[in-house]
Amino acid sequence: MRGEADWDEQWRVEPLDAAAVAAEARTPRWRAQAAHVERRFGGFAGLQVVEIGSGRGLNGLLCARSGADVTLLDRSSLVLGQAEELARACGVEVRTIVGDALAPPEELLGAFDVSMSFGLCEHFVGEQRSSIVDAHLRVLRPGGLAFLGVPNRNAPFYRLWAAVLKARGTWPLGVEEPFGAHELADLACRAGGTPLAPSYGSFAASAVGHGVNQILYKVGRRGLRVPQVQVPLLDRLAYELLLPVLKPESAGAVTRP
């Protein structure tokens, strides 16, 4: 990874708030995941799920709350400790593993029904951009489902916010190259997956989160609650891009553990 951020420092200063899990449950990207899993597997109950480069693992915790057995993989023991604290607050259990997202531990390969990441793939460039997508398929069983959650290259409020911080020299996240849906789907195909139709977050949420609230923070005001209303055509300009990818079945039907 080039221009690497100090992620532990980021996690130390970001408030640890159990309400973040409930807030994630209201997002279009969580609703899209739940709908895909319901169609493919009949629900989360009994599924083996891994969140790669998990951070605090908000989506993994939602999967656990829905009945999945969840593993969180991150190279930061600090943030995995925070994830365990959030899990206890949510009344669920997760397994945490310190490891490299580009080279998942051998025990994880081919072990999961669902893999996912959010805010991970965009921090890789060059050949590693392909490798990180491939990692999501490598940990899946045949017939498994990956979710790749990334910033949308066509999101104007996000792009303007990032450009302003970079121009001021206050950008804290190292290299971050957003994706277009076609690029992400192409990388998924190269990894041997079958990309499904992408979905997007809320354009209204992007306008408030990366627009209005940034101005309010600058003048010392509290931010507004981020709305999650969806307007299909406008939402193609939202910050969040989610691509579901199927791993082809080698033989027989998809089975649960």
For residue range 93-114, what is the model confidence (pLDDT) as tens digits? Answer: 999 999 999 999 999 999 999 9
Domain count, the chain: 1
User: Do the domain assignments include residue 163?
Assistant: no
- Residue 14 located in a structural domain: yes
Residue 188 lies in a domain: yes
Residue ranges making up the domain that contains 32: 7-153+175-201+238-246
CA–CA separation, 247 vs 245, rounded Å?
Answer: 7
Strands (E), the chain: 48-52, 69-74, 95-98, 112-118, 140-151, 194-195, 199-200, 240-246
Residue 72 lies in a domain: yes
User: pLDDT tens, 162-212?
Assistant: 999 999 999 999 999 999 999 999 999 999 999 999 999 999 999 999 999
**Strands 194-195 and 240-246, sheet pairing:** antiparallel
Q: How would you class 91 by CB atoms within 10 Å of its CB: exposed for 0-12, middle for 13-18, buried for 19 or more?
A: exposed
Residue 164 counted as domain residue: no
Tell me, yes or no, whether 73 lies in a domain: yes
Residue 103, C-beta contacts closer than 8 angstroms, at least 6 positions apart: 135
Residue 181: CATH number of its domain: 3.40.50.150
* pTM attached to this predicted model: 0.93
Is residue 218 included in any domain, yes or no? no
Q: Is residue 217 part of a domain?
A: no
**pLDDT tens, per residue, the chain with 257 residues:** 334 678 999 899 999 999 999 999 999 999 999 999 999 999 999 999 999 999 999 999 999 999 999 999 999 999 999 999 999 999 999 999 999 999 999 999 999 999 999 999 999 999 999 999 999 999 999 999 999 999 999 999 999 999 999 999 999 999 999 999 999 999 999 999 999 999 999 999 999 999 999 999 989 999 999 999 999 899 999 999 999 999 999 743 333 33
